[in-house]
Structure 1
Amino acid sequence: MSEGHAFPYQRIVDDLRTEIITGNLTFGEKLPSENTLAQRYGTTRPTVRRALALLKAEGLVTTRQGQGVFVRPKPRVRLLISGSNYRTHREAGLPGFNAQVREQGMSPEQRIRDVATLDAPAEIAHRLELDQNAQVVVRRRTFLVDGLPIALCDSYYPAALAADTVITQPRRIKGGVYALIEDPDGPIRRQVSHSVEDLICRMPTREETTELNLMPGVPVVRVIRTVYDSENRPLEVQESTVAADSHEFRYEVKMR
């Protein structure tokens, strides 16, 4: 037994992990059967199962009942936050998330989970500079990449801003909500100016683990974005819970 492999299953783990990371085993590819791996490594099926369980805990593989073990698809989205990026996507008539995912050769999707009018939670009211007991419209969505859920996004708008607009309706808005807000012939006619973002890392709730199909031990990032208009009035608070293993964030800030 070679140094560094004190346990029989460790060599299996190390070899398969390397093959996955280097791309020799590609996303969605089926791993050899337990019998095949046991013969290859001169060990037993229980030892192979232990190795596969570790790889599953690391988020590298997933099991399908009656089909076997597969390399887990794990799209990684690079999100660039900058004013020029925002304007480029707005001029193209695309929501920023959809545009950036497509630029990276993947397929974006936004599924509306719920649209409702409710009393503003205290934190949301504070960020939107609303009075206590003011109402907001919330649009709850799930963001997917190549069919896999990677983020839960709840966007809150002052009820007075969203009243009598499609923001209150459970359907997609062409170009996204910002296109509606900035439409010079539309009902709101305000210019999106800037945003402030807070990022908080934590472990997911049970519901978030289910909704995002997270593997054990994978944390989430709570992103709270407050969006302002050209007169520094808050337009939206966007609260997103994103899978930490599926996102990379990059911020470009012009200091002068």
Structure 2
Amino acid sequence: MTHAVPSRRHTSAADLRTQISTGNLKAGERLPSETQLAAHYKVSTPTLRNALALLQAERLIEKVHGKGNFIRSPLHRITYAGGGRTPFDPTLQVSIRTTNLRARGHLRALLRISSNNPLTEFLCITHEGKSPHSLARIYVPRDLAPAVQLGSSGWPQRAEPIAAKIRETVTARLPTQEEATTLRISSTLAVLAITSVATDATSRVVEAALLVLPGDRANAVFTTHRTTEERETEG
């Protein structure tokens, strides 16, 4: 059996990755110049830049134009606990943009409404410092939108929840170009895409949320509560 030999860019990236993980290179520290690093690893400058690009995609380092490459601070991981738009973390800032629009395309099917029905969209982007962390697009039928207000967490929510059932679908995929640009992530970094649809007691869709969480900083935790009947049946 033959084993693939790691390329020089992967070997260089692996050594830098180890130095970052062990703390030899600390958050905020500036790396030596690309020319110095290329000489240290005995590789060409283009090969060294490819190695740094791997670490940039992993968000271990960032390149500041005109200043060099710097070690990034550890990523703040957030946990989505399911059950609707649970605020991810009160330490994150939230910016919200509200837009009125008409239901078209996939929104018609998602909210189970007719074409051109009026909707309100809440575009929510969380930030850690100046860095975007996650995004959510929340759609509410226009007649229900006035009841939605900003809660203490900064997220739009109702004073009295009317959802009787919430169905969530979780998909791991690559980000769209718009998502990658908004979140400032690599187009090769997988994201958790969560579609949450809330219905009331009459089965009317009262809210649909499309959440995008970069895979390098998010966990999704779902808890199932079994009924007494289910436990007795298994017993």
Pairwise TM-score range, normalised by the shorter structure: 0.7 to 0.9
SS in structure 1 at match of 2:89: helix
Q: CA deviation at 1:32?
A: 3.0
Count, aligned residues: 222
Q: Which amino acid aligns with 1:12?
A: S
> Equivalent of 1:236, from 182, 207, 211?
207
The answer to whether 1:173 aligns with 2:174 is no
The answer to whether 1:220 aligns with 2:191 is yes
User: Would the aligned equivalents of 2:199 and 2:205 in 1 still touch at CA under 8 Å?
Assistant: yes
Aligned to 2:92: 108
Q: Which amino acid aligns with 2:138?
A: S
The answer to whether 1:150 aligns with 2:117 is no
Aligned to 1:51: 51
Q: CA deviation at 1:22?
A: 4.0
Q: Which amino acid aligns with 1:77?
A: I
Q: d(CA) in 2 for partners of 1:123 and 1:34?
A: 47
User: Would the aligned equivalents of 1:38 and 1:44 in 2 still touch at CA under 8 Å?
Assistant: yes
Root-mean-square deviation over aligned CA pairs: 3.1
Kindly, what percent of the aligned residue pairs are identical? 27
Aligned to 1:210: 181
Aligned to 1:191: 162
Query: 5+ unaligned residues in a row in structure 2: which ranges?
Result: 228-235
Q: d(CA) in 1 for partners of 2:31 and 2:158?
A: 46
Aligned to 2:78: 77
User: Would the aligned equivalents of 2:150 and 2:157 in 1 still touch at CA under 8 Å?
Assistant: no
Per-residue displacement from partner, 1:102-124 (whole Å, max 9, x unpaired)?
A: 4xxxx3111123x2222212433
Query: 5+ unaligned residues in a row in structure 1: which ranges?
Result: 87-94, 183-189
Aligned to 1:137: 120
> Equivalent of 2:86, from 96, 107, 116?
96
Q: d(CA) in 2 for partners of 1:245 and 1:39?
A: 31
Per-residue displacement from partner, 1:146-173 (whole Å, max 9, x unpaired)?
A: 43212221111111222xx274xxxx72
Output the TM-score relative to the length of structure 2: 0.77
Output the TM-score relative to the length of structure 1: 0.71
User: Would the aligned equivalents of 2:57 and 2:189 in 1 still touch at CA under 8 Å?
Assistant: no
User: Would the aligned equivalents of 1:34 and 1:49 in 2 still touch at CA under 8 Å?
Assistant: yes
Q: CA deviation at 1:234?
A: 2.5
Per-residue displacement from partner, 1:223-247 (whole Å, max 9, x unpaired)?
A: 2101233554422101123322221
Q: d(CA) in 2 for partners of 1:6 and 1:213?
A: 29
SS in structure 1 at match of 2:37: helix
Per-residue displacement from partner, 1:73-103 (whole Å, max 9, x unpaired)?
A: 4332122225xxx8xxxxxxxx732xx424x
Judging by fraction of residues, say which structure has more helix. Answer: 1
User: Would the aligned equivalents of 2:61 and 2:69 in 1 still touch at CA under 8 Å?
Assistant: yes
Per-residue displacement from partner, 1:132-159 (whole Å, max 9, x unpaired)?
A: 4322111122122343212221111111
Aligned to 1:200: 171
Q: Which amino acid aligns with 1:173?
A: L
